Homo-oligomer: A and B are copies of this chain.
């Protein structure tokens, strides 16, 4: 099986390398300056679109323009899988922009080159139905499992709701605390050191990823409203005394 990767940013390069341990991997990118990872063959879109499967590894906000370029080259037999950290939006976009009978599968690999530096064994990958036969969907479930990943099946809606209240809230808190310019302290408690770790975990990611995760997840508006409501309540309760 030949597997394509569209987008050779930090995640795409990493993912292409990982896939090359099991598949013949071809990669395409809109940016000619990107390096081609070892074990991966760089191809034009015309060839990429004929791979048995193509993983979309572009920023969420770049999904529509990237698909506009790729779709004319897709073969009817090619399966398209996204890798976005939200699921409803990319699945809707793929369904709208990619014609049938091309099959679609949603994935959210919950790791990257940092967290998988010691290997991918046991790391979680979320699998969401998009528009594929049961056979195609099950095949990818088996392939990810064979790569050592812990596959978690979850609908796009549930995924985005849980993501808003886990990753989404964590990243907002991290950015807020970063904005406060907190420092290490001789009197830092254990809890405070965890706060500093949250800042480090979240603010090393590009700001664009933060923006995309918040803007393209339909539940983050509600999550941020609840966060503001909670902080107003806690602060108001303090001034009542």
A: which residues have CB within 8 A of B?
108, 110, 115, 124, 126, 152, 154, 159, 162-163, 165-167, 169-177, 179-180, 182-183, 185-192, 194-195, 197-198, 201-202, 211, 214-215, 224, 226-228, 230-231, 233-235, 238, 241
Question: In the assembly, what is the distance between CA of A224 and CA of B198, in Å?
Answer: 19
Measured CB to CB, the closest approach of chain B to A233, in angstroms, equals: 6
In the complex, the answer to whether B175 meets A234 with C-beta atoms within 8 Å is: yes
Q: Which of B167, B171, B187, B231 contacts A126 (CB 8 A)?
A: B187
Q: Given the complex, which residues of B lie within 8 Å of A187, measured CB to CB?
A: 108, 110, 124, 126, 152, 154, 159, 162-163, 166-167
In the complex, the answer to whether B182 meets A191 with C-beta atoms within 8 Å is: no
Would you mind naming 13 contact pairs between A and B with Cβ atoms under 8 Å apart?
Answer: A154-B186, A159-B187, A162-B185, A162-B186, A166-B188, A166-B192, A169-B182, A170-B195, A172-B235, A173-B173, A211-B238, A228-B235, A231-B231
Question: In the assembly, what is the distance between CA of A202 and CA of B183, in Å?
Answer: 19
